[in-house]
């Protein structure tokens, strides 16, 4: 049983995790930057260690400082929260190398799902439909241009290490291809530290569905039903709802089964969300986010479960 938890995050994410941990009898501490000394999560949680300057790169992304903070407060586990280091394999490894419990998937799982091309290839190997596109990611503008020239528009340029709608451009016949490629690469590099892009067929106005997953790390995994996030602006989710309405029962079951196959195949430990696009009666794998998502309260509302408690128990 975890005795003390360091929450390596800030804001509502840190406060929400702390509430559940305290309710379970687990002592909590957190971290802050030099500009967040009076932040809400510092005041609500109580014990907090300053881990660096204002920029996230100096504080909330500072792996050695966070490990040192966990050791200073006597924590035996670290929760990465939402965002920041939550999907960083090196952080998961560093936590466990320090003899602490990482509340999240293994570093191997984080790496496999973090690489969008590898995740897509693994889904295809499991017989899960994937969006048609090139079978490689590249940071060579000329090479990407050649791939686009061999495909039928509209197409989607997507950061291979991406998420959150960043590093994405839609390419139509009359678009400025060179500028689209260059701008997508610049945004990908600035957001994720990598400029390589995937090229896929663009699906116009699909439904965007998610499946909440939980696994025990041995290959046993279950779904906690689905959510829909089709209402978006600039590839950012605006409204999330559950359960998914007006979806054929057989199609729903196929999507849930596909998500569970992915979780079982990767021996998921903890929580993850598998995402799919639906066009008519067909569905396509999009990605897996191997962490607690912002949208998790929607699943909690329809199931009555506390997903953070599940993470801590697993």
Question: Would you tell me how many other CB atoms lie within 10 Å of the CB of residue 275?
Answer: 18
Q: How far is CA 190 from the centre of its chain?
A: 18
Same domain, 123 and 260: yes
What total number of domains does the chain contain? 3
Residue 287: closest CA among 185, 168, 189: 168
Residues in the chain with pLDDT < 50? Answer: none
Same domain, 94 and 17: yes
Residue-level pLDDT at 192: 79
Same domain, 28 and 151: no
Residue-level pLDDT at 68: 98
State pTM to two decimals: 0.92
Residue-level pLDDT at 125: 97
Domain end position, chosen among 159, 182, 201:
201
Residue-level pLDDT at 166: 80
* Both tokens assigned to 148: 């686009």
**Beta-carbon contacts of residue 136 (< 8 Å; ≥ 6 apart):** 117, 147
Examine residue 233 and state whether it is found in any structural domain, yes or no. yes
**Residue 201 DSSP class:** E
Task: Kindly report the CATH number assigned to the domain that includes residue 265.
Answer: 3.30.470.20
Catalytic annotation on 112? no
Expressed as residue numbers, the domain containing 157 is 141-201
Same domain, 123 and 147: no
Residue-level pLDDT at 140: 87
Same domain, 156 and 173: yes
The three-state DSSP-derived secondary structure of 245-288 is: CCCCHHHHHHHHHHHHHHHHHCCCEEEEEEEEEEECCEEEEEEE
Same domain, 71 and 8: yes
Residue-level pLDDT at 174: 63
Same domain, 33 and 10: yes
Same domain, 245 and 125: yes
Residue-level pLDDT at 286: 95
Same domain, 46 and 25: yes
Examine residue 135 and state whether it is found in any structural domain, yes or no. no
Same domain, 269 and 302: yes
Examine residue 90 and state whether it is found in any structural domain, yes or no. yes
CA distance 266 to 126: 11
With vertex at residue 118, the alpha carbon angle to CA 170 and CA 195, rounded to the nearest 5 degrees, is 50
Could you say which of 16, 194, 291, 313 is catalytic?
A: 291
Task: Kindly report the CATH number assigned to the domain that includes residue 98.
Answer: 3.40.50.20
């Amino acid at each position: 049983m975890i005795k003390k938890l360091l929450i390596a995050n800030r804001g509502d994410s840190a406060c929400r995790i702390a509430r559940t941990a305290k309710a379970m009898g687990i002592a909590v501490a957190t971290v802050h930057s030099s500009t967040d000394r009076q932040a809400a999560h510092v005041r609500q949680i109580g014990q907090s260690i300053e881990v660096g300057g204002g920029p996230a790169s100096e504080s909330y992304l500072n792996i050695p400082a966070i490990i040192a903070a966990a050791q200073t407060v006597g924590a035996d586990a670290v929760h990465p929260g939402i965002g920041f280091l939550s999907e960083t394999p090196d952080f998961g490894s560093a936590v466990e190398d320090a003899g602490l419990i990482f509340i999240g998937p293994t570093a191997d799982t984080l790496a496999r799902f973090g690489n969008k091309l590898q995740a897509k290839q693994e889904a295809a190997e499991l017989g899960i439909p994937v969006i048609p596109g090139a079978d490689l990611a590249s940071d060579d503008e000329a090479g990407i241009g050649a791939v686009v020239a061999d495909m039928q528009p509209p197409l989607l340029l997507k950061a291979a290490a991406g998420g959150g709608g960043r590093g994405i451009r839609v390419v139509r016949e009359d678009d400025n291809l060179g500028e689209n490629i260059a701008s997508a690469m610049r945004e990908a590099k600035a957001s994720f530290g990598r400029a390589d892009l995937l090229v896929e067929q663009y699906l116009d106005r699909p439904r965007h569905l998610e499946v909440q997953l939980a696994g025990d790390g041995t290959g046993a995994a279950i779904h906690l039903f689905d959510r829909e996030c089709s209402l978006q602006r600039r590839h950012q989710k605006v409204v999330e709802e559950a359960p998914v309405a007006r979806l054929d029962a057989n199609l729903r079951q196929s999507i849930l089964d596909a998500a569970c196959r992915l979780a079982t195949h990767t021996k998921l430990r903890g929580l993850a969300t598998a995402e799919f696009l639906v066009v008519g009666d067909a569905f396509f794998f999009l990605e897996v986010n191997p962490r607690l998502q912002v949208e998790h309260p929607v699943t909690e509302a329809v199931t009555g479960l506390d997903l953070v408690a599940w993470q801590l128990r697993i």
